[in-house]
Structure formats: C-alpha cells, structure tokens
Chain A
Amino acid sequence: MALISMQDVSFTYAYSEAPALTDVSLTLEERLLYGVIGVNASGKTTLCSLMRGLIPLFHPGTLTGKVEIRGRNLLEWDPAELSRAIGCVFENPFTQISGIKDTVFEEIAFGLENIGVPRDEMIERVLEVVERLGLEELIKKNPNELSGGQRQKVAFAAIVAMDADFIVIDEPTSQLDPEASDAVFEIIGDLRKRGKSIVLVEHKIDLMAQHADRIIVMKDGRVIAEGPTADIVTSGVMDEADVPRPEVTELALALQGTGKAFPSLPITRAEAFDALSSRRGG
C-alpha cells in the first residue's frame, strides 16, 4: 500500500483566484526520502499542507480529485489521529515556538509531554537531539530570546524528538549556518535509514542531491517531474523549473564537449572527486 496517493488533485485557497495546485497525481512509497523543489509560490508548502491534512480543514478552499493516506481517503481520517501519524515542521521558523514554555528544553519536550511519553524517556530523547544540533548551551534559555537560526533548530528538534513514522519537513534549514544545515540533513538521512518516510522541501540542492531518494519538481502548482534524484537533477526539467543544479553538475555541464568533460554527470562532490582524482597531475 502506498504511503500517499493523489489523483488529479487541484486546490484553490478560499478568496484566491488562481489555483495553488493543479492536476497533481503522485504516488509516494513508504520508507523513502522525497525531496520537493521549485521556485517560490510553486505550491510546495500547499502540497505539504495537503499531505498533513491541514487542507481543507484549517486552510479552507476548493479541493477536487482524490487524496489517500495509507489507503484511507484523506477526508475520512480523524484530524487528531492524522496529526499523531504525521510529524511536521512548518516553514516559518519564527512562528514555530509555542510561546508558553519558559525554557528551550521544555519547548523541545512539549510534544512528547502532550502524548504522555514517560519522563525518563522524554529527557533521553530531548537530550539526544539537543546534542546532535549543538543546542546544549541554550537548554535553559527562554525560547523567545533566541536568534533566528536557534529558533529554527529548536523547532526541528521538537519534531525529531517526536519520532513519527512519516515526517513532512518544510524548509528546515533556511536560517541555518552551513554546519547546522549539514547536521539537519544528516539527522534526516538517519531517520530515513531507520525506515521513516520523509517529505522534505528544500532549496539547498547540493544537500538534496546527497540525501534524497527521489525528487518532486513543482512549477505553477503542477508537479512537472518526479523520479530518482540523479535522473531529475541532471535533466532539463531543472531549467524548466528555474531551480539550480548541484554545483558539481553545473561544472560538468560547463565542461561538456571540451577536452575536460566528465564521463557522466556527477551529482555529488564525492562522485566528481572520483571522476577527477585519476586525472591529477596527469
């Protein structure tokens, strides 16, 4: 059974003229990391909201077509049950903080507390993710007195601690320094290895190329391509969608047809290194 299946799905937000999603048909399998890319306003966040059951419940509008999550029609899911089944990180890091907790530690533990996780286990889970994200110095700090990137890390940590089977993550690294972005992708990669199903919206294509199994490309509310990461990021669909390719892929494309050409297009730095290392000094 597919994790999610969508057939001819269109959605128009209430009071808005143009549809945010048009004729989307997609099947997502369990235990894979799907990357979603596309320019601003192409419909990425709307697609996430749909998968999480926020549409049409919390974002009213006109929904047509059929959406099934784990074989059950979206409209038949109990919203509370769905929100437990799906972990999600929202796009805007500035609005993720609950505002009612006094410390970063309690903020990260908030969700676990709500679902009644025993105290020892809660502490263990929170401290583990705190360490991976380098938040140790901040755990006693007031969550309302954090820098932009620190807030985003806390929001991400809270979702990771929840350990849901299916996680939808919308731009988790937009405010993060490069080291923290790497750490977030590594954590997501580990979740994937542990068998979680993940949908990840991100602009950082170099990291996406390293970690995603498959890529969904959006443009003007439509899914214009879906396929294995290497096929997608080396194809012309990237130009059509006006999204960048991995830097090493761009280098290889620039060298095509010259005496320096790569044997095939690399999508990660490791692949590019392997292709070039035998040429060194030669």
Chain B
Amino acid sequence: MAITFANVSFAYPSGWRAVDDVSFTVKEGERLAIVGQNGAGKTTTVKLMNGLLKPTSGTVTVDGVTTAERTTASIAATVGYVFQNPDDQIFASTVRDELEYVPRYRKWDDAKRDERVGRAARLAGIERYFDSNPNDLPLVIRKFVAIAAVLVGECKYIVLDEPTAGLDRPGQRRLVSLIDQLESEGVSVVTITHDMRFVAQTFKRVIAMANRRIIADGDCASLFASDELLRQASIRRPELAQLVRDLGLSDRAYRLDEIAALIPDNR
C-alpha cells in the first residue's frame, strides 16, 4: 500500500504551471519531510496527494486507485491534509464542532466519536479550547486545531503543511511526539517544513523541491552534503553542520552529538 506519483504535472486554472513531471512514492507507515524554495510546488504537490487537486497530466495513485477515479471526499478518508493556512480549513464556530465534523459526516456512534475526538485533542494538546471559537485563538493554536480535526479521521496517510511555522519550542516537542505516536500506529506522516534543524532531528528521508520539480529524494546527510542541491532549493544546512564543514571536519555530520564528538581538544 502506498501513494505513488508517476510523471505528475499540474497547472492552476490561470495557466500557471506549479508542478512539473514529479515522481515519488510514500509507503504506508513511512515518515518523510518535504523541503524547498518558496513557490517550488510543495503545497500543490501534497494537495495532489489527497485529491484536492487532480493532475493535469500523469497519475497519482492512492493504495492502487488513481485519484482521478475517486471523489475528493473518499480520498480524504485515507489521506488527511492539514492546510498551510488553518483558516482555509476551519469552518465551525467552536473547536468541538470542528473536531466532530468527520464523526457526523461518517455517522459514527457517540462512543466512537468521543473516543476519537478526545484522543485527537489530547495528542494536539488543545483539550482546554473545546468550547472556544477558533477565531479567538492565536494562529499557532488554530493550526493545532486543524491538526486535531484531521487526526480524528482514521487516515493512513497524514500530510502536515508547515506545522513548524511560528511554532515555539514546547509546540515543537508536542509536534514531534505527535509524529512519533502516528508512526507507532503505522500511519505515514509527510511534513512540509522550512526548519532544517527540525528536519535534521526528526526525519531521515527528505524530498527537496525547486522550480516545480523534485531535485533530491534521500537521506538528510546526503542533502546537507551538497552545496549545489542546497543552493537550488534555497535552503541552508543547520548551523552546526555548516560549522564543521567550514572547519573541514565533516561534510555529512549534522546531529549535535556527532558534531560534539568531532570538535578537537582545546590543547
């Protein structure tokens, strides 16, 4: 079981080409990051994953069926997407209502509804906002509401579009434990982010996009080792990876423990 892109291109109705000949596979249970230049086509790519957008050419296949043959609603039950802007996603006037949308739509009984909603709110750390109007909450909390709303559905694949934007350190810890939890349940997590320190700490596989295309798909160390790939994707390696590179100590080290071990004695 997997999501597979085969030579996928996409142009918006205005004619603007946003994704060009993209091919990759996300396996069930796998976690990965998508990074790269503003406007590279990351959000467009993940919207193609869950059927919000359909390819202009090429095919996107979710668990063996192309998205062109399925309705967006039916794909959404398998592939959950958390929007980059939570306000594009949230419509209800209370957090509880927003989280209960999927249970209502799928006609779950109350016991199942309460169990799934409670669990999602706990994982996202938003239980205390149940009765709030999402509009009254800060942007980052609204993002966690949007995440929780997607967690309620029993999706096998979950896509988070820039969950680290504006996020503080306690929020990052919550995000990492949420991703770990999903992985332990066998759910795939695809995360778009610009935070390379977060990528280095949280993901092994990373896809880099630039200019409508995928320019790299592999492990973090290989991406951070290549000046050319980083330049094309408008990204920078984490500070410490750059430091040991400038010092001529390593081209591939990027974790704090690895790097601490490389620093020479001060005598």
Q: List the interface of chain A (C-beta within 8 A of B).
A: 38-41, 45, 91-92, 94, 138, 141-142, 145-150, 153, 171, 174-182, 203, 206, 242-244, 246-248, 250-251, 254-255, 259-263, 269, 272-273, 276-277, 279-282
Contacts and interface: CB of A to CB of B under 8 A. Distances in A.
Interface string B227-251: 0000001111011101100111100
6 contacts: A145-B14, A148-B43, A176-B38, A177-B233, A178-B234, A279-B265
Interface residues of B, number: 47
A269 B259 CA distance: 14
A281 B37 CA distance: 36
Contacts of A91: 139, 166
Interface of B: 12, 14, 16, 36-39, 43, 84-85, 87, 138-141, 162, 165-171, 194, 196-197, 233-236, 238-240, 242-243, 246-249, 256, 259-260, 263-267
Nearest to B264: A279
A177 B85 CA distance: 16
Contacts, number: 137
A259 B267 contact: yes
Nearest to A247: B239
Nearest to B233: A177
B168 A250 contact: no
A86 B87 CA distance: 28
Contacts of A260: 260, 263-266
Contacts of B171: 39-40
B247 A280 contact: yes
A203 B259 CA distance: 23
Contacts of A142: 14
B38 A150 contact: yes
B87 A94 contact: yes
Given A40-B167, A147-B43, A175-B84, 16 more contacts: A39-B168, A40-B168, A142-B14, A145-B12, A145-B16, A147-B38, A148-B38, A148-B43, A150-B39, A175-B194, A177-B234, A203-B166, A246-B239, A251-B259, A255-B260, A282-B264
Nearest to B246: A273
A94 B264 CA distance: 47
Chain B contact surface mostly: loop
Contacts of A175: 38, 84, 162, 165, 194
Contacts of B169: 39, 242-244
Q: Report the 3 A-B pairs with minimum CB-CB distance, sorted nearest first.
A: A149-B38, A179-B234, A247-B239
B197 A179 contact: no
A253 to B, nearest CB: 10
A169 B245 CA distance: 33
A242 B173 CA distance: 11
Contacts of B248: 280
Contacts of B43: 147-148
B38 A276 contact: no
A32 to B, nearest CB: 24
A266 B238 CA distance: 16
A248 B197 CA distance: 12
Contacts of B165: 148, 174-175
B138 A41 contact: yes
Given A247-B197, A251-B240, A276 B256 contact: no
Contacts of A41: 138, 141
A146 B234 CA distance: 18
A259 B168 CA distance: 33
Contacts of A273: 243, 246-247
A215 to B, nearest CB: 15
B240 A247 contact: yes
A149 to B, nearest CB: 3
A203 B168 contact: yes
A265 to B, nearest CB: 14
